[in-house]
Structure 1
């Protein structure tokens, strides 16, 4: 997710298509026509996906699936577009949610709307709204949900106690948050209250969007024709960032190298806004807690869903049974329990295996509740969004560095966004 998306992104990246290795593949046996599924997973996620594919292939010798490791999810879009040029696209590929708009405009991409409607047992409405929104462009379904996450407040309990601070609550305001960050920060610059990814990428933008929504603002007008963030709400959000980073100096500005997690593990960072992808990277000796994001008018968070997309239209009917099985409540909960991913469907919480999932990942409960309680808005699935994200990311970066006045930064970004939306 860019990044919203540097999170959970895997370190192994290549410049070309890398066919699956023994550790990351599920090669079909002889017989039957294999469907190819490109993915960028390694380690436990790849292991879990391989085991499921092997099970499917053993039980469905005429509907086999071949997993192909594409070198890393971070470059999936570029490699998919390259496959269109070569004329050899995958049947299915794992794609970031931000990729659905450019891919939906390509003739190779399958529109899955009718397929979903023709299969009511797929229970489209059972998926959390955030993942349905991320899979839909202009009312058409181009993706099947593959992953969902969201932001919450993760804090170091030991540092809070040492600073004489009570733990964050679900009623925390921005003022509470700012005050705690100041008290957690030392004057020598060796410990910070909070961290913010400030490389100007989508990782910079999506945290700002959560603040914007918490103040009652919007990114664009309802018809997606004009910028709406140059508003009192947008200015409040930008000023909070400026006040904390520039005035209080309580924010570690991560330049996209993901050092904030190392700081958290070493006791040099009190709080971070992150998602379930980072929980497995927290050291066992760090006593941490998870709480919903502090709020202004509300406690809005932002979700980052990804999708499985189909690019061989002639294989839609053949691919559907596997994807329907893979994304069924029972199978996905099994996968989530092995990987720590969040449930995609509301019904997964009612299954007999869900208590075991909660016991294994106790912090996941809040992220799951967030999907229903605090994910109310989504980034727009419009072709211009990547350009708008770059403009807004640069504006937020300038504010955090103290190089640009918040009002000026938003005004300039708003003008640029209107020009982008107008096709300029």
Structure 2
């Protein structure tokens, strides 16, 4: 998701691509503590998130005088991964850094990055299996754990109730189909003044991950089971791409966002009726806009996609010094406290059983469906492989061309399949 000022997955993938360029760079695998022996933890949080995290760190420090942590703002959008790689070269990486999930596959190849597999599984107090599956998968590369979930989110359908009422459309239900979704989007559309749905169409990961949800809903998959071939050029993949074509080109019911994130402003002004978005956008919806949140529409399933981020640990000393703090920070009670301050989703199933959890749903009612999604509809994950940024770029171009009416679904998928097969063959 986002950190504070809004970290984008487009930025994450751009940064992840730099891993290949710096793989040959040096840097010692040690390091991890800041000035005065404190454990250095990089983060990108600002505003309420930054305040909440710093408050928890101060509490930890007051209770653990022999294991102090120093929270360091790493600039958020301004090159998190690049700064991590630069720290490797300089030989002074932090003990812990908040990294995008898409960065982990490349970082796992670096000697500085610590294998936490035995740590998370042998520490019975941590309860690895209590974490939502999406978070566990995002932290795992080739069966080994290289991080712990820092944030778990997903996509749901957010809709403007007033526009639905005015159009005489029943509100979406958890069993809504693609056909009902397309019909509602068409009815909500009024020329170029109002669109039924918004889709980020800049060709970035923002473009791709919405398509992946459609692909999974139709029963398809991105890659073959062995990960050596593209699998999206299938009947399911064509059905998903055809839906995008029909809505954008035939119905003209889709506002194509260029990546400048104007879709929230248009939703606020009543010019967009539905979004596929995550909890990070709820805070940007005006208080006078009556909206609802529902599962994504479905075909075979109502699958959604999660975009977890991770805390990654660097250096042997970093692991030894940082693990007690991370285990405490991600414990059910402490993380729920953080969620209450920030609106972040729970990362653990046990958080939902805590006495204070109903207060979370009362404070952030829109998050209820996102939390339910984690247990019901987050069934697949993007592959945690180093080639993913290139795969995403190829598929993003294909989706973009279809939405713009520049290519037919079958042709776009065939082209992307050939490119992805070549990418995987060259690994």
TM range, normalised to the smaller chain? over 0.9
Correspondence for 1:77: 81
Correspondence for 2:397: 394
Matched, 1:147 2:145: no
Distance 1:65 1:5 in 2: 20
Distance 2:35 2:181 in 1: 60
Distance 2:371 2:63 in 1: 32
How far did residue 82 of structure 1 move?
A: 1.2
User: SS at 2:37's partner residue?
Assistant: coil
Correspondence for 2:14: none
Correspondence for 2:302: 299
Correspondence for 2:409: 406
Match for residue 361 of structure 1 among 340, 361, 364: 364
CA contact (8 A) 2:107 2:113 kept: yes
Distance 1:31 1:375 in 2: 41
Distance 1:251 1:390 in 2: 22
Correspondence for 1:346: 349
Correspondence for 1:96: 100
Distance 1:397 1:6 in 2: 28
Correspondence for 2:381: 378
Correspondence for 1:416: 419
Distance 1:245 1:78 in 2: 36
Matched, 1:122 2:95: no
Alpha carbons of 1:31 and 1:241: their partners in 2 closer, same or farther (altered >3 Å)? closer
How far did residue 118 of structure 1 move?
A: 2.3
Match for residue 181 of structure 1 among 172, 176, 185: 185
How far did residue 311 of structure 1 move?
A: 1.2
User: SS at 2:275's partner residue?
Assistant: strand
Correspondence for 1:332: 335
Q: After superposition, what is the alpha-carbon deviation per residue over 1:254-293, rounded to whole angstroms, capped at 9, x for unaligned?
A: 0110000000011111000001001111100000000000
Q: How does 1:127-276 map to 2 (within 5 A)?
A: 127-187=131-191, 189-276=192-279
Alpha carbons of 1:211 and 1:340: their partners in 2 closer, same or farther (altered >3 Å)? same
How far did residue 241 of structure 1 move?
A: 0.4
Correspondence for 1:17: none
Distance 2:82 2:299 in 1: 38
Alpha carbons of 1:219 and 1:280: their partners in 2 closer, same or farther (altered >3 Å)? same
Q: After superposition, what is the alpha-carbon deviation per residue over 1:58-103, rounded to whole angstroms, capped at 9, x for unaligned?
A: 1111111001111115621111111111111111000010010000
Alpha carbons of 1:128 and 1:73: their partners in 2 closer, same or farther (altered >3 Å)? farther
CA contact (8 A) 1:31 1:62 kept: no
Q: TM-score if structure 2 supplies the norm length?
A: 0.92
Distance 2:133 2:121 in 1: 16
Correspondence for 2:31: none
CA contact (8 A) 2:188 2:196 kept: yes
> What stretches of structure 2 of length at least 5 have no aligned partner?
12-33
Correspondence for 1:65: 69
CA contact (8 A) 2:6 2:77 kept: no
Distance 1:134 1:190 in 2: 40
CA contact (8 A) 1:156 1:289 kept: yes
Q: TM-score if structure 1 supplies the norm length?
A: 0.93
Alpha carbons of 1:259 and 1:344: their partners in 2 closer, same or farther (altered >3 Å)? same
User: SS at 1:324's partner residue?
Assistant: helix
How far did residue 31 of structure 1 move?
A: 10
